[in-house]
Structure 1
């Protein structure tokens, strides 16, 4: 991983805020899975995530349609995660077709999973930091609409309200 990426993601206040949630609570995970399932259904996408992006990895805390090694690992390296781009931008991030997009054409996650398009919105914590993302990922190229973005923003707001109920301190 590049030192620059680690430095940009590893801001101590941001990491402390992520650590302040009980991310392993099974009730929280079930509720976040339901949000991901709702977004996937409304946007007709095979995969949806609610994730936290740590300094070196993406940690999936809610999901729909995730299988194989990604499900077993409950995440990916940060440099492979499209949600990392959402977190670093602090605003919605879209990839119409990862195979033809020069920013993502060599991404191992996309190559190994066959997924191609992405729309994600940041999860903004109380401290104003982008902690993670709520997204949909599709196996076909897609142009996402403002309605799609509104669905994800709604899911992100619901995710943050849930997370706030699972604060450790």
Structure 2
């Protein structure tokens, strides 16, 4: 099992140290998660995107060597274009130092960033420039063993005032998904 320690940038530690990574990876394997995209998790991400009216939503598991979006909703027409007219592809696998979900996992609590550019720790993240992500809303997936499996999150290309309704929605969505995951594992059925 490989685990990439965080890398400091200047005096800022952009990606937090994740001491629970080995236990999380073992738990994800036991639950049969984070091995392949799951249509049920894609549907879950699409539903979350609709609830908070965001172009991006993810069910993200932190795995060996990075992050895996087992559930993903991205806009059909990417909102960011490169100088040559093409758009970057938001893939299912990202390095651990991209995005904001690793912070949610280590914090073990929701994170609301109305404009990521207002926070020096987050403004320099690659997803800001590459995908135009300017706001983020995420909550941890904490199972009954106390393991943070990953996150559910939404992101937008414009600054957003997510407010208390957005925070409550993402936290309730995370709790609902954990119940579904654990019920599925108990019953031996797909999500």
TM-score by length of 2: 0.75
Aligned partner of 1:79 in structure 2 is 97
Aligned partner of 2:162 in structure 1 is 144
For the pair 1:22 / 2:32, whether they are aligned, the reply is yes
Q: Kindly report the root-mean-square deviation, in angstroms, between the aligned alpha carbons of the 2 structures.
A: 2.4
In 1, Cα distance between the equivalents of 2:126 and 2:67?
Answer: 14
Gaps of 5+ in 2: 8-14, 79-87
Q: 2:65 aligns with which of 56, 65, 70?
A: 56
For the pair 1:42 / 2:60, whether they are aligned, the reply is no
Higher Cα Rg, which structure: 2
In 2, Cα distance between the equivalents of 1:166 and 1:75?
Answer: 24
For the pair 1:156 / 2:165, whether they are aligned, the reply is no
Q: Could you list the per-position Cα deviations for residues 22-71 of structure 1 after superposition, in whole angstroms to 9, with x for gaps in the alignment?
A: 23466xx1111121111111111000101101253111010111675332
State the secondary structure of the residue aligned to 1:13.
helix
* Structure-2 change in CA distance of 1:114 and 1:9 (3 Å): farther
Gaps of 5+ in 1: none
Tell me the number of residue pairs that the alignment of Structure 1 and Structure 2 aligns: 164
TM-score by length of 1: 0.84
Q: CA offset at residue 161 of structure 1?
A: 2.5
Runs of 4+ more than 4 Å apart: 3-7
CA contact (8 A) 1:9 1:54 kept: no
Greater helix content? 1
For the pair 1:70 / 2:90, whether they are aligned, the reply is yes
Q: Could you list the per-position Cα deviations for residues 124-157 of structure 1 after superposition, in whole angstroms to 9, with x for gaps in the alignment?
A: 0232021200011001111212211222122212
Q: Return the structure number with greater relative CO, CA threshold 8 A, min gap 6.
A: 1
* Structure-2 change in CA distance of 1:137 and 1:9 (3 Å): farther
In 1, Cα distance between the equivalents of 2:36 and 2:103?
Answer: 27
